[in-house]
Structure 1
């Protein structure tokens, strides 16, 4: 009985500590709570192959699962502290102390770590010890203070207090002063009004297929930020330095004064599996990167741009992809409105033809013109390729294969992409038969995906349908299967269908 009581007390103490630290973080208006800081440290220290395996399984649910994993680990360690409390008190104190030190170190390792964050970490440790002391003041069996009724009463009171503090923390977090201020500024921006409707003939409007234009709400999100940086545009700046003739510092207003250009661009994640949905297409508004780099003056020998996000994430981009005339942008708008916070507000990079991990820095605040030989960026340190050119790929969206289809003419449809080059054609085959030409939708440029459709005369039975694309340079999509590591998945997308 005593062992179960101690363990339960440790679990409650850990939950109370989490609630208290989150409430303090909201009250002190911290950009990250200790729990989020620990989660970011876990993400930073996770090996690349393991990170990719996790993304492959959970996709865009990685962030809540990461936070949930940290919480479960803290609760589990709290149970251990409680289990040791009566017989090994010093051991319990040492474990709590180690956890406080690790949490404080995680807080201070972040770009905006502060003493207030350390205070919240220490407070969490104090709460653990305080709750255990209240619940387990005396562990002798004949103690009146620790009668079963007294313990349950104290446990219930502390549980209610924990729920109250946790709820108050959530209310404070929902009214996060910094987030509210940034959202107000974002909503008040009066940027040039832009259309975000699909060009004529681009959306084939096939039942069951997603739209050609991806809405901001549905656009995929893959990044390492458990809590997106909150940046007031009036306080944002981009420092440009390194192997340049003229160091520059640009403000948000500087970018607006240069005038925004619109460009339809599809971007995709290197973690996108064959036939996957970590890809989206929209119209971005921003300032061309090549003009800015020309103004800075690139020195001989430089071949890379090391960009850094406000949260410390780094990205290496080939300079050749930023200066060859393609629509590489410092983007301020997405689908005609200011960037959503989770997609990089106030400014991010968008570079067609490269996977996001080597190009699409969100919340960008620093550019260093340099050489690939002189640095390793966040994901290249974890095993991904250095330059990340997008591969020619296609996807089948219709039919889904989930339900039997009827005999007769059936629409097979999907999308294909080869940003920076363009798609010349898409072919479809059934049961490894001959390749048949599909019909392509219209595109505004070579940087977007293209919808395609094929009419198949379906016959009864089980069938396998595959697709392949050919880019505008005449290079067909490869059928060789490869994993996303180190530089993107390959292989023909395929679905299995049953014709009734």
Structure 2
């Protein structure tokens, strides 16, 4: 077997898998089932140990999702190449490996989180992947000249001594003159000699033209399926989302004070644009839920179950509020914090209508993909502006941020409050359930810690000697920021100038002017909230309830 033949065999295995995967992805796009790649990737996310998730969020950011998808595709390609190469001598093993690949897609869809509620629809793309990839591998093996039936290789007839041939000239006689008939147990074969070793899978001959036609067809099927599955809208499109008219809120947000933005170039915008707002979630593909089919069920420990569709929310009393959100994965000085103007329905009003029963202390909310989040009931009923949000910065929620409806709760990290693409809202007790993230080692309750960040100057920035400016943001949602201080090297803490306050649920910008002398200097910032709590200097990683420590940056004055 030449290396050229091995390469062709491996290529055939790859294209067979590509055809199965392409049509599996197309089936997912058409029927709404679980994409084979997304299904496997989501299972990897769910099964990954906590430190691996933390590393990915910290070092890869939003690039973690395309990197994971690429990794799954590379792994499938390598596996398929190996299967094709193995098929050179072991075609049955190659078929078995291909079946295993399809079964993996089916298993991931059947046991993992999915946007499809129907079990048959959920696994259908995996079934199509299995059937097409296996059939493709079989066709490749046939084109290579292999048959799956049991047969023995032919060889030259042995020399037979005169007088030992029987009359028919077809058998072999013993010395006694009796004909020895073929018998699998004796290994006697009249055509091949006195003994042969059966081979289960033997080549019939390589049909180059048939092989090329087969592999080309498989490649075309795989490419077409993959391209079409990406072109199909897969739910509502952007025009439909933008076409939704949000009603004027009954309670508008207060006008922002003129001085809410720090007077320093390079500071984060006071209101974070939708395209720049951080996104941290576990979904490889963003759901595009049709608001006409969306429904939210409020049930559990309530006197009356309530079901709301999107039109019901639009017709309710809406409020508009500026609220800063923070992800628990945010490292000290990290980017996973943003401020936006939200429009939504107060959650407390809906809970009053449902009638919360005694003993309830939590709400389990569920996303369209099955992810669950546990929220303290008190945080939804204590007067803060916790809402089912439908709008963000003057437009319907972007797909990335939970369209058509998500939760926004001031003062809590997102993993216990900010359910996106929400479809279920169950009033319950913390003792009676565990949510997705708490199952993975994060705290049950997670109030946001008092924090601050230096936006300018950036780390290792070069600054000219003389008057210089540092600036940034500080946040302590639902407590508010009272003071921000900056330390230069090991000097005393000096108070920074705070921008005007827009509300206790909103971050606050600050500026600090200092005299930059030649050399390298370290700037450190800390905040004090309105309860008098000073930001701790004790360094802690985000797990299990948010990072802590003081942000600093080194500048070079020359």
TM-score, with length taken from structure 1: 0.92
Pair 1:116 & 2:173 matched: no
**Larger displacement relative to structure 2 (305-314 or 207-216):** 207-216
Question: Is the contact between residue 205 and residue 211 of structure 1 (CA under 8 Å) also seen in structure 2?
Answer: no
**Within-5 A mapping of 1:327-476:** 327-476=385-534
Report the counterpart of residue 192 of structure 1 in structure 2.
Answer: 247
Give the Cα separation in 2 of the matches to 1:130 and 1:90: 9
Greater fraction helix: 1
Aligned to 1:101: 103
Shift of 1:155: 5.6
Q: Which runs of 4+ in 1 moved over 6 A?
A: 194-197
* SS of equivalent residue, structure 1 residue 485: coil
List per-residue Cα deviations over 1:276-300 (Å, max 9, x = no partner).
Answer: 0011100000011111112211111
Q: TM-score, normalised by structure 2?
A: 0.82
Change (3 A) 1:92 1:224: same
Report the alpha carbon displacement of residue 19 of structure 1 after superposing the two structures with TM. Answer: 2.9
Q: Which moved more, 1:482-491 or 1:255-264?
A: 255-264
Greater radius of gyration (CA): 2
Q: Tell me if structure 2 keeps the 8 A contact 1:31–1:229.
A: no
For residues 93 and 213 of structure 2, the distance between their equivalents in structure 1, rounded to whole angstroms, comes to 27
CA distance in 1 between counterparts of 2:132 and 2:460 reads 48
Provide the rounded CA distance (Å) in 1 between the counterparts of 2:139 and 2:536. Answer: 61
User: What residue in structure 1 maps to residue 236 of structure 2?
Assistant: 179
**Greater shift after overlay, 268-277 or 398-407?**
398-407
Deviates more, 1:368-377 or 1:396-405: 396-405
2-side partners of 1:490 and 1:471: how far apart? Answer: 14
User: What is the deviation of 1:3?
Assistant: 4.0
8 Å CA contact 1:198–1:212 kept in 2: the answer is no
Q: 1:255 aligned to 2:310?
A: no
Cα distance, 1:206 vs. partner? 2.1
Cα-Cα RMSD? 2.6
Q: Is 1:133–2:136 an aligned residue pair?
A: no
Partner of 2:107, secondary structure, is helix
Cα distance in 2, alignment partners of residues 135 and 452 from structure 1: 71
C-alpha offsets along residues 19-49 of structure 1, whole Å, 9 cap, x if unaligned? 33323433x2435422112212222222223
Kindly tell me: are residues 68 and 124 of structure 1, through their superposed partners in 2, closer, same or farther at Cα, counting changes over 3 Å? farther
State the distance in 2 between where 1:198 and 1:61 align: 34
1:401/1:498 contact within 8 Å kept:
no
Q: Return closer, same or farther for 1:415/1:155 CA change in 2, 3 Å cut-off.
A: farther
99 and 241 in structure 1: CA distance in 2 versus 1, 3 angstrom threshold: same
Quick check: 124-133 or 41-50, which moved more? Answer: 124-133
Q: Residue 274 and residue 177 in structure 1: after superposition, are their counterparts in 2 closer, same or farther (change >3 A)?
A: closer
Within 2, Cα distance between the matches of 1:356 and 1:130? 49
Which deviates more, 5-14 or 345-354?
5-14
| Residues in 1 aligned to 2:213 and 2:532: alpha-carbon distance in whole angstroms | 71
My pick for the range that moved more, 400-409 or 464-473, is 400-409
Equivalent of residue 28 in structure 2, options 25, 28, 46: 25
Match of 1:170 in 2: 227
Q: Distance in 2 between matches of 1:32 and 1:198?
A: 45
Q: What's 1:91 paired with?
A: 93
| Residue 193 to residue 300, structure 1, CA distance change in 2 (3 Å) | closer
Residue 233 of structure 1 aligns to a residue in which SS? coil
Comparing 445-454 with 68-77, greater Cα deviation is found at: 68-77
Gaps of 5+ in 2: 148-152, 154-202
Moved more, 276-285 or 154-163: 154-163
Aligned counterpart for 2:549 among listed residues 488, 491, 495: 491
CA contact (8 A) 1:25 1:120 kept: no
